[in-house]
Amino acid sequence: MPELPEVETVKTALIPHLSGRLVTRVEIFSPRLREPLAPLAAAGIEGRRITGVGRRGRYLIIRLDDGRNLLVHLGMTGVIRIERAEIPRRKHEHVFFHLDNGDVFRFECTRRFSVVKVIGESSPELDALGPEPLEEDFNAGYLFKRSRGRKTPVKLFLMDNAVVTGIGNIYANETLFRCRIHPLRAAGSLKRGDFARLVEAARATLREAIEAGGSTIRDFRLVDGSEGHFAQQHSVYQRRGQHCPVCGQTIGHLTLGGRSTFFCPGCQTEPRKGKKAAAPGQ
DNA sequence: ACCACAACCTGGCCGC
DNA sequence: TGCGGCCAGGTTGTGG
């Protein structure tokens, strides 16, 4: 489900529920998610105290008092709830962490594309991630350097976690619309100024989405079960056939890297070699 | 290096 | 009511 704004929203909501709590019991109901859950069962989490909750890209990092971390990736349909133990288990809830105040941290994931595991200080999956889009090291110069010689469409470049982490299909579409860059433009063809606009568009889009509690398309829920409201502000995502909020043209659609791609043919000019380079100002 | 594609898994929706 | 086909926010691995 989640991209950066959704995970950030969950993180913020979890902090008051988890910080300082003792994990009294771990219950595992499924043999595996994306990875087997047996190592989690054997990790000796019971009796550990949670010292904090962080986020890196789309990963939640729940810090334990022995220096290890619980790493949680929500996949496409992961939902975390904090509820009392009396509430019956739902069909796709796979792991319960019982806390010393009677609350239960429950992990649900319909499609089981998610990850829940214990890691040390770091892990290979975290080390492979590029910069955070809301941090300073994500900037026009970095993207310019990183994109030289790359023919890959800028949308896929933007969704590459090694380039920048946390931007998935929804926010790649919205970001490119916002900075008026066509998703098919070759990453290596963009100029430094294009990347400057792209960086600002990504930051603004992500910040607004976090403010709205993320985008609930179908499955995503906040920790208290409520929905994120940013989908109502999507300009192009899942708006094929509707009118562009800026120029009124009909939102177009194409498939890129197997993913649904939405754009405004009026605002986001088609990549054409040498053609209309003069028309649109910036 | 790049890119298309399949796979992981379940459920919702649409058309027939 | 049922069935087949298509779609879905992510990640990883394959083969060309």
pLDDT digits (tens, 9 = 90+) for A58-95: 999 999 999 999 999 999 999 999 999 999 999 999 99
Determine the nucleotide nearest to A219 by Cα–C1' distance: C9
Cα gap A13→A139, rounded to integer Å: 28
Question: Is the Cβ atom of A259 within 7 Å of strand B at any atom?
Answer: no
pLDDT digits (tens, 9 = 90+) for A200-224: 999 999 999 999 999 998 889 999 9
pTM of the shown model? 0.94
Catalytic machinery residues of A: 2-3
Rg of chain A in Å (alpha carbons): 20
Our measurement of CA A71 to C1' B9, in angstroms, reads 21
Our measurement of CA A218 to C1' B11, in angstroms, reads 11
Q: How many residues does chain A have?
A: 282
Cα gap A62→A15, rounded to integer Å: 9
Task: Give chain A residues 27-86 with Cβ within 7 A of strand B.
Answer: 34
> What pLDDT, on the 0 to 100 scale, is given for residue A64?
98
Determine the nucleotide nearest to A59 by Cα–C1' distance: C10
* Tokens matching residue A4: 């950066």
Our measurement of CA A76 to C1' B12, in angstroms, reads 15
